[in-house]
Chain A
Amino acid sequence: MQIKTTSGIEIKEVYTEPKNLSELPGEFPYTRGIQKDMYRGKMWTMRQYAGFSTAEESNRRYHYLLSQGTTGLSVAFDLPTQIGYDSDDPMSEGEVGKVGVAIDSLQDMELLFDGIDLQKVSTSMTINSTAAILLAMYIAVAKKQGADIKLISGTIQNDILKEYAARGTYIYPPKPSMRLITDIFEYCSKEVPKWNTISISGYHIREAGSTAVQELAFTLANGKAYLKAAIEKGLDINVFAKRLSFFFNCHNNFFEEIAKFRAARRMWANITKELGATDPSAQKLRFHTQTGGSTLTAQQPLNNIIRVTNQALAAVLGGTQSLHTNGYDEALSLPTEAAARIALRTQQIIAFESGAADTVDPLAGSYFVEALTDEVEAAAWQYIEKIDAMGGAVNAIELGYIQEEIAAASYDYQKEVESEERKIVGLNSYGDKEEINPETFRVNDSIRKMQMEKIASLKSSRNNVYLREALNDLERTAKAGENVMPAVLNCVESYATVGEISNLLRKVFGEYSTV
């Protein structure tokens, strides 16, 4: 009988070849982990992605999550904020506060982090084409709190390439987008040195339907494109590469996922070294993991708790630095509070009861896991070589190659599920006659009106002279090719809105369109 992983790697009945392992955790190429002691030294960060409706509502959820033992915040923004539209923009109708919190100006950001000490908590923000603006707002709030911005820590996603390839929240064409990203690298290395300036994301590539190998390959290829863009700008890889982080998905095939994480570290160490990184911190692949949203079923939703547990355990055995576990009801809506709580408890049970965190890289030396790590790596290099031959990830995306590969893989997967070649419990097999429809989470539609009122009152009370000066200065720096970050910070501190800043940059940079 032939058994294959989701990436098409054939699995043998039994593995018998021992691997000669001389490599230790914390040593190049870091297959076994980026630290010598891993979770003995520091438990992974339990970072639950959350955010919805208004800044006030989300702030309450953050205080709740922190009180329940979550150790890092992760902010979800609504789509208008992510795509640079204010809540009162016609494009925002129906979307305000839906998949995340609505942020229109610094005022909202102040409310979002009210009572949360930004020098103490680390915050991850899922924000890409408007990352410069939201990061500037975060810095502005921290400054207002009296924090030393040299000490604040967190992550912005800031990974535009996967937006074109898989996630869709792009605004500007690739070239100016890459420039904004490298502006952020440069600015943060001087002003906010503890900030992770990018989270190079395979998560959404996988959710869009890629295989595990494709997720790994396309993510590292994107990573390589960012390295090259920053080097071209004249930045020192040993400085900026320390602040790059990664974000991977974790799906159901337990061992393939573990192999993927181990291969990822080894590959990134080689990629950075080849491009001149000599400092170990610049070669280490640090990553956040989220369990696979698309693996959740709307049918028999409680089964998802088990899926999430398996996936979370694989991420831990793969050496993740931080982890988000999904709520069991997320094929139906944003998670209810009950579902979000069980998701966090799942991590705590793995951390404190399972023993999985007691020793470093516990699966090292397993005939199977080592062989699979090598095979996943080899298959991913093949893709990267192909992408390199196209001139790198930016070109491969512009040619549509990556998008087509993902679409083909997702269609193959769908056919396997529909032909029942691939069993999904509760979906195409073991169905229940009676479906339980759990309570779902709802975001009120009146939020847009509330945000519109806030914008109107802001616009009548802010100092328009400062504002105009700040916007003019941003326009000048954007056109001149200077680093835009100081000007963006100045704009947000003058209470320019996300939409005003984005529209100005749309004028300078143009807009990306696939049609």
Chain B
Amino acid sequence: MDTSFNRPIRVLIAKAGLDGHDRGAKVIATSLRDAGMEVIYTGLRQTPEMIVNTALQEDVDAIGISILSGAHMTVFPKIMQLIKEKQMDDVLVTGGGIIPASDMSALNELGVGKLFAPGTNTKDIATYITGWVQQNRNF
């Protein structure tokens, strides 16, 4: 844990849409916990509204969305819109799954953070979240 933080980073890991592939989400949740973060895992079939509401209630620093069903171009833009409406622009929205590279860049342009492909080292994800939070969140 970085000593510049006076509390653990809080992360919401969410499975969006109808996709039931939760291996990645669970592995990421466990690995972020091992990296010292507080992780809330939503379970399956979360709508964008449910995810953003949970993020707000739990006062998280980052939201990680796992999606392998191809619904990413629907789910991420909706989440970004809700985040703006609720003035949660200081929360990181990141994620991963089966997302083609061109879609990743389109989503980055909407303000979505880094998106991770299958095979990513979980330490890289922890490092990315920590770095982002350090730069963008007030502690």
Chain A contact residues, CB within 8 Å of chain B: 79-80, 82-83, 85, 91-95, 98-99, 163, 167-169, 207-209, 294, 297-299, 331-334, 407, 410-411, 414, 418, 424, 427, 437, 440, 442-443, 445, 514-515
Whether the pair B100, A514 counts as a contact (CB closer than 8 A) is no
Complex: chain B residue closest to A330, CB-CB? B98
Q: Please give the distance in Å from B131's CB to the nearest CB on chain A.
A: 19
Whether the pair A93, B122 counts as a contact (CB closer than 8 A) is no
Complex: chain B residue closest to A408, CB-CB? B30
Q: Which of B5-13, B14-22, B83-91, B106-114 contacts A (4 or more CB under 8 A)?
A: B14-22
Q: Which of B20, B30, B71, B121 contacts A94 (CB 8 A)?
A: B71
Q: Which of B70, B100, B119 contacts A99 (CB 8 A)?
A: B70
Interface majority SS on B: helix, strand, loop or mixed? loop
Q: Number of B residues whose C-beta is below 8 Å from A?
A: 31
Whether the pair A427, B74 counts as a contact (CB closer than 8 A) is no
Whether the pair B69, A95 counts as a contact (CB closer than 8 A) is yes
Query: In the assembly, what is the distance between CA of A294 and CA of B70, in Å?
Result: 17
Complex: chain B residue closest to A418, CB-CB? B121
Whether the pair A333, B23 counts as a contact (CB closer than 8 A) is no
Q: Tell me how many residue pairs across A and B have CB atoms closer than 8 Å.
A: 94
Complex: chain B residue closest to A209, CB-CB? B23
Whether the pair B43, A83 counts as a contact (CB closer than 8 A) is no
List chain A residues, Cβ under 8 A from B122: 414, 418
Whether the pair A407, B19 counts as a contact (CB closer than 8 A) is no
Q: Please give the distance in Å from B53's CB to the nearest CB on chain A.
A: 14
List chain A residues, Cβ under 8 A from B44: 168, 514
Query: In the assembly, what is the distance between CA of A64 and CA of B84, in Å?
Result: 46
List chain A residues, Cβ under 8 A from B31: 411, 414
Query: In the assembly, what is the distance between CA of A145 and CA of B19, in Å?
Result: 34
Please tell me if B101 contacts chain A, counting CB pairs below 8 Å. Answer: yes
Given contacts A94-B73, A332-B100, contact A294 B119 (CB under 8 A): no
Q: List 28 A-B contacts (CB under 8 A).
A: A79-B17, A79-B19, A79-B20, A79-B69, A91-B18, A91-B45, A91-B47, A94-B17, A94-B70, A94-B75, A95-B17, A168-B19, A168-B44, A168-B45, A207-B21, A207-B23, A208-B22, A298-B119, A331-B119, A332-B98, A410-B27, A411-B27, A414-B122, A418-B121, A418-B122, A437-B101, A442-B100, A514-B44
Query: In the assembly, what is the distance between CA of A93 and CA of B48, in Å?
Result: 11
List chain B residues, Cβ under 8 A from A299: 119
